[in-house]
Amino acid sequence: MKRGLLILTAVALLALAAPQVFADYSRSDAVTVMRASRQYMQEISAAIGKQDFHEAAGLLMELAQGHQSLTQMSPPGGSKAEWDRINSEMVAAAYRAIGAIGQGDTAKLQAEMGRISAMNREGHSTFRN
Ligand code: HEM
């Protein structure tokens, strides 16, 4: 009985700890994501400029996946919660931009592009030395 309780407690503690497992900051992985993001942002703007929204949606998904992957590692310093919040807000803005494409709402698409750029600025002012 006591042993059962011990095992239950251990399993409960492991379950609690599991979501907090993430890798240390990797400069090379982060820089790879950032350089890809710069490229995607240029390509997304160009695709929107020539009204190729299908192309823009695919690139927005790539952009989102890169920043989602950053939440699997700790930041180069500072708050992990802030790192997750800023990256997650950027990812959410990219998804909303794809939604705006689905709705044919170019004003909303532009607003979400502005939100992505705002998260870029906030991420850099908070975490980039
Ligand atoms: C559209 C969004 C973004 C773009 C285009 C972008 C672009 C870049 C670029 C070009 C670099 C320099 C990479 C190099 O050394 O060659 C960089 C660095 C960096 N960015 Fe971003 N970024 C974006 C969003 C973010 C966000 C949301 C965060 C944090 C929440 C962030 C944090 C950083 C950090 C910490 C570095 C320094 C990496 C290092 O040298 O350790 N960036 N970014």
* Domain CATH for 85: 1.20.120
Nearest atom (ligand 1) to Cα of 67: 27
Domain count, the chain: 1
Tokens 């930041």 found at: 75
- 67 found inside a domain: yes
- Mean confidence (pLDDT) of the chain: 94
Q: How many angstroms is it from 98 CA to the middle of ligand 1?
A: 22
1 has pLDDT over 70: no
Residue 87 — left, alpha, or beta (φ > 0 → left; ψ -120 to 50 → alpha)?
alpha
Domain assignment of residue 63, given as a range? 26-127
| Nearest CA owner, ligand 1 atom 13 | 31
In a domain, 52, yes or no: yes
Question: Domain for residue 49, yes or no?
Answer: yes
Tell me whether residue 121 is in a domain.
yes
Q: Is the pLDDT of residue 60 over 90?
A: yes
pLDDT grade for 16, boundaries at 50, 70 and 90: confident
The reply to whether 16 falls in a domain is no
pLDDT tops 90 at residue 25: yes
Q: Is residue 17 part of a domain?
A: no
